[in-house]
Amino acid sequence: MSQEVSSPSREGTISLTFDLRGRTALVTGASSGLGVTFVRALAGAGANVVLAARRLDRLEPLAAELTAAGSAALALHCDVGNPASVAAAVAAAWERFGRVDVLVNGAGVVAESGLAPEKVPPEVFEHTVRVNLLGTWHCCREVAARMLADGKGGAIVNIASVAGLLGISDFPPAYQATKAAVLNLTRSLACSWADRGIRVNAIAPGWFPSEMTEQALAIPAFKAWVTESAPMKRIGDPAELVPALLFLATAASSFVTGHTLVVDGGLAAAGAGGGVPADVLELFAQAVPGGLGQRITPA
């Protein structure tokens, strides 16, 4: 569909395609996993791309690859848990490209993976909160303040998780809590900024191969539980997230804000299959030193 229609939004005339030519997108967590998929997809849609992550050594080869293919790309060091680092990265993106039109908050961790919830150390829980929730907030606030100041609006896409929609027993508690918080933050900011042309939406992926999930999915029993829990009986292909991302990042979704687009093979609809099976929990427990993976039971 290529017909153009008028729009009251600050994104201007809507072209009903996934077109980002002339726009700039900033992606956090761009050094690995789904972040790499997002960066390539946005560049493929015509956007200038700003790659932000802590591991600059991984960003620079990807930026060079995109530049060689004809895209404008900038690699920036950014620790999303540090407000000053976020402010510096956003300022550098604005200086290079004039503004940021699309923010994709892809940075995330699951620091307490494999630990029994009752044994998660405070500093481990707090680290997940710092990256997943505070990091998302710092980036939203810093980018939105500039978008609001120049009056041109924009799109923010927060990468949450199906785990934020469900209660899953013996699953990383800080990860679940922060992803649920990101979903409500998305709704709150969408309501606050809609009248000034900023749309804020979220994607809640199910299980996809990535740097974050590779160790868990390498355990056959865990992968079997994951695949059997979803009605589609498989994990996702990262390419299957691209249409959702481009829909929310472009003017194709000009009348969509505060929405969570679930891409999970039906996992949330099925209730995630309850919780991690006991035999799989035992495998995780054996791999965690110091007994931190063993649940506390009555003596």
* CA dist., res. 143 & res. 100, Å (int): 7
Q: How many CB atoms lie within 10 A of CB 5?
A: 10
Helix/strand/coil for 150: helix
* CA dist., res. 130 & res. 109, Å (int): 9
- Side by side, the strands of the sheet bearing 198-205 are 73-77, 48-53, 24-28, 102-105, 154-159, 198-205, 260-263
* CA dist., res. 87 & res. 94, Å (int): 11
Intra-chain end-to-end CA distance of the chain, in Å: 65
E strands, 173-268, where? 198-205, 260-263
Q: In the numeric block, which tokens belong to residue 202?
A: 């979220």
> Residues for the chain: how many in total?
299
Which listed residue (175, 193, 208, 222) is catalytic? 175
Measured N-to-C along each axis, helices 83-97 and 135-150 cross at an angle, to the nearest 10 degrees, of 40
* CA dist., res. 252 & res. 14, Å (int): 7
* CA dist., res. 208 & res. 127, Å (int): 23
Active site annotation includes 87: no
Catalytic residues: 175
